[in-house]
Amino acid sequence: MFRVTFVKRQREGADIAFSLFISIVSILVALAVSAAVVKASHLNPQTAFQTLFVGAFGSMRSLSEVLIKTTPLSLAGLGVAFAFRGGAFNIGADGQLNMGALASTVVCLTVGPFVGWLGVPLGLASGCVLGGVYGAFAGWMRAKLKVSEVIVTIMLNFIATLLINHLVHGPLKDPTGFMPQTAEIPVTSRLPLLIATTRLHAGVLVAVAAAILVYILLFLTPFGYKVRCVGINQTAAMYGGIDVERVLVATMSVSGCLAGLAGAIEVLGIHYRLLEGISPGYGFDAIAVALLGKLNPLAIPVSAFLFGALRVGANSMQRVAHVPSTLVYLIQGIVVLFLLGGEFFARYRIRFLRREA
Amino acid sequence: MDGLIAFASQSVRLATPILLAALGAIFCYRSGVLNIGLEGMMLTGALMGVVGSTLTGQPFIGLLAAAVAGAVMGLIFAVFAVSFLADQAVVGTALNLVSIGFTGYLFRLLMTGTGETQNVPGFGAMPIPGLERIPILGPIVFNQNIFVYICLVAVVLLQVLLYHTGFGLNMRATGENPRAASAMGVNVFALRYEAVIASGLLAGLGGAALSIGALNLFIEQMSAGRGFIALAAVTFGRYDPIGTLLASLVFGAADALQLRLQVASTGIPYQYIQMLPYVVTLVVLAVVKGKARAPKSTGVRFEREAL
């Protein structure tokens, strides 16, 4: 008989090669489990994954669709990662994204027609601001009232969805249309297309720039230093002279800003209007994106690309192979679970001890 | 008066899914675990309740299936959060994703596209002979479905377990200071496993209360944040079974009010009325703020000293 024990490794933290290894294994395990699920439901996993792959990378058009999905995932993922670094778990990226979309739509519809191309920066900025305010509110409840930001941000998600739901059915509804959506924003307020035959827009460049900026903010500025201090140890940060409450609110507001920007880009780059369900759960995908990216701003666009491909591929998988696209959530959840498990094995070694009779 | 009684009775019915999950959350909180995964456990329970009930025609089998499914989710949570020392909030969120994916997948396969299941065999009201005739209290508490009675029994059991048994003492000690409890000889790991599995079981039942107890159908993501509201209810109820019972009733009443206002022509857009439970949750949390102190080790992983 053996007894399994875990022995702490001498070296704290994993090196890059090991964490990359864990990430790849996590993805493979998740794919294997989902293949088993597909197989168990009497569908063909090979066809399923083939259509998934072709659906994502099969053509210029599908690849550009992947990049379109990568953009909001990356931005919201950056937001989640930033909050994480600062010791806050922001699962409200969805709500913040929705509020960002709302603000940018309103600004582009009201101010847009009079300011020409300035509508683009104004629209993006307004999305940032409202998303940031929405995030800051959760940060404030956490810092001042000691209420778990997890519950607060989830509640705020529901509230934002219902608010937008009402606005697009009521006050903001396009008066000339029948659909529950607003009127289109002026052409001058839209993000330019990068490739004319596709829907790929300049927002993807904004996402890349944001990743670099967040990296600089987090690792090369005094503010970023404070954020990371608070994230590692609040008590120590407080004794070190950091105003922890203020930093928490600021962290959540930066996080919300990034998610809000994602929402604004969805409006200015893709839909050109606000509609119900503008975020098909991007805020939750963002958590998996941030964790797979190891909370590193420069790795997050890459993991966002992966999950973007998964999303686009899953849609064609559902169409062609009749495998429900909700499989994506299963894959994401399992990836996260195995990443977490992998972290443990980065810190501990397994040891089998012979049990004495 | 009759209207008020009907409203109270509806509030009790709507409070049960939240209360069941919240009682599970008490187990977790008291042993020092923050279980964000309740939402997913409820959702899985809701689907398995419907599946079990549909396949066998017996709602009772559905109830059992929901409890077992919830407990299995709890076990998975414990493996990652307790054994592998992963961040509890992240494990919970991952489980929520898994259950959205799993239930959505299974459900779409079973129902090919209708968006909701047809009416499945569910539990109706089961008046308790004698007690149901007590004025006012009878119709409110003793003319309900099985889940309400399960709740009442569970509240009493948990209250006794927590404050009048050695196990409860160990659990409370672990929640406050796992290291001290461990030094005292409490097996912190085993205790947290038990707590999390029990919470999964209860949350699974809570999900079943939603699907085969109330609506007799399953809708994708039908838990709609109730797992999180349950966490808020525990905070509001000061981590105490009876306090949590009362807190859940507040949320049940908010839900009942919301449903009634939607039917009554108030002129308020229904979206704002649907917001009510979520806004109430935020307000309650803001009002309670520091007054309810969470067990000290909540959310903190427990690492065994080097072996």
> Does position A340 have pLDDT exceeding 50, yes or no?
yes
In Å, what is the CA distance from A240 to each residue of A83, A84, A139, A230, A304? 20, 20, 21, 10, 35
Decide if B78 touches A, using CB distance below 8 A: no
On whether the CB atoms of residues A201 and A269 are closer than 8 A, the answer is yes
Of B36, B98, B220, the CB nearest to A330: B98
3-state secondary structure of A48: helix
Please state, as a whole number, how many other Cβ atoms lie within 10 Å of the Cβ of residue A86: 27
Burial tier of B180 (Cβ tally within 10 Å: 0-12, 13-18, 19+): exposed
pLDDT, averaged across chain A: 87
Residue of B nearest to A288 (CA): B94
8 Å CB contact of A158 and B225: yes
Distance CA(A19)–CA(A342), nearest Å, equals: 8
Q: Name the amino acid, one letter, at A336.
A: V
HEC-encoded secondary structure of chain B: CHHHHHHHHHHHHHHHHHHHHHHHHHHHHHCCCCCCCHHHHHHHHHHHHHHHHHHHCCHHHHHHHHHHHHHHHHHHHHHHHHHCCCCHHHHHHHHHHHHHHHHHHHHHHHHCCCCECCCCCCCCCCCCCCHHHCCCHHHHHCCCCHHHHHHHHHHHHHHHHHHHCHHHHHHHHHHHCHHHHHHCCCCHHHHHHHHHHHHHHHHHHHHHHHHHHHHCCCECCCCCCHHHHHHHHHHHCCCCHHHHHHHHHHHHHHHHHHHHHHHCCCCCCHHHHHHHHHHHHHHHHHHHHHHCCCCCCCCCCCCCCCC
Q: pLDDT at position A3, please?
A: 66
8 Å CB contact of A329 and B289: no
How confident is the model over A73-93, as a mean pLDDT? 93
Chain B interface mutation, best of A31, A42, A154, highest count of B Cβ atoms under 10 Å: A154
In Å, what is the CA distance from A3 to each residue of A6, A73, B182, B190, B304? 10, 43, 21, 16, 16
Decide if A245 touches B, using CB distance below 8 A: no
Decide if B105 touches A, using CB distance below 8 A: yes
On whether the CB atoms of residues A293 and A300 are closer than 8 A, the answer is yes
Q: pLDDT per residue over A221-250, tens digit each?
A: 999 999 999 998 888 888 988 899 999 999
- CB contacts < 8 A, A to B, total 145
Burial tier of A110 (Cβ tally within 10 Å: 0-12, 13-18, 19+): exposed
Residue of B nearest to A165 (CA): B271
Of A147, A330, A344, the CB nearest to B85: A344
Q: What is the mean pLDDT of each run of 10 residues along chain B (307 residues)?
A: 79 89 90 88 91 83 91 91 82 87 82 61 73 72 79 89 88 84 84 91 91 78 86 85 89 86 79 86 81 72 58
With CA atoms as reference, report the closest residue to A56 among A231, A224, A345, A307. Answer: A307
> Does position A34 have pLDDT exceeding 50, yes or no?
yes
On whether the CB atoms of residues B18 and B189 are closer than 8 A, the answer is no
Decide if A221 touches B, using CB distance below 8 A: no
In Å, what is the CA distance from B274 to each residue of A158, B249, B278? 9, 17, 8
**Which residues of A are less than 8 Å from B43 in CB distance?**
none
On whether the CB atoms of residues A72 and A265 are closer than 8 A, the answer is yes
Name the one residue in this structure whose structure tokens are 């209250």: B159
Q: Name the amino acid, one letter, at B41.
A: M
3-state secondary structure of A3: strand
Q: Name the amino acid, one letter, at A222.
A: P
Burial tier of B68 (Cβ tally within 10 Å: 0-12, 13-18, 19+): middle
How confident is the model over A97-124, as a mean pLDDT? 91
Q: pLDDT at position B94, please?
A: 86
Q: pLDDT at position B307, please?
A: 36
Residue of A nearest to B80 (CA): A341
Reported ipTM: 0.85
Question: Hey, what's the torsion of the CAs at A244, A257, A297, A67, to 10 degrees?
Answer: 160
Distance CA(A147)–CA(A74), nearest Å, equals: 28
**Which residues of A are less than 8 Å from B282 in CB distance?**
141, 152, 155-156
On whether the CB atoms of residues B80 and B222 are closer than 8 A, the answer is no
Q: Domain locations in chain B?
A: 2-227
Of B97, B220, B275, the CB nearest to A336: B97
Q: pLDDT at position B267, please?
A: 78
Q: Name the amino acid, one letter, at B128.
A: I
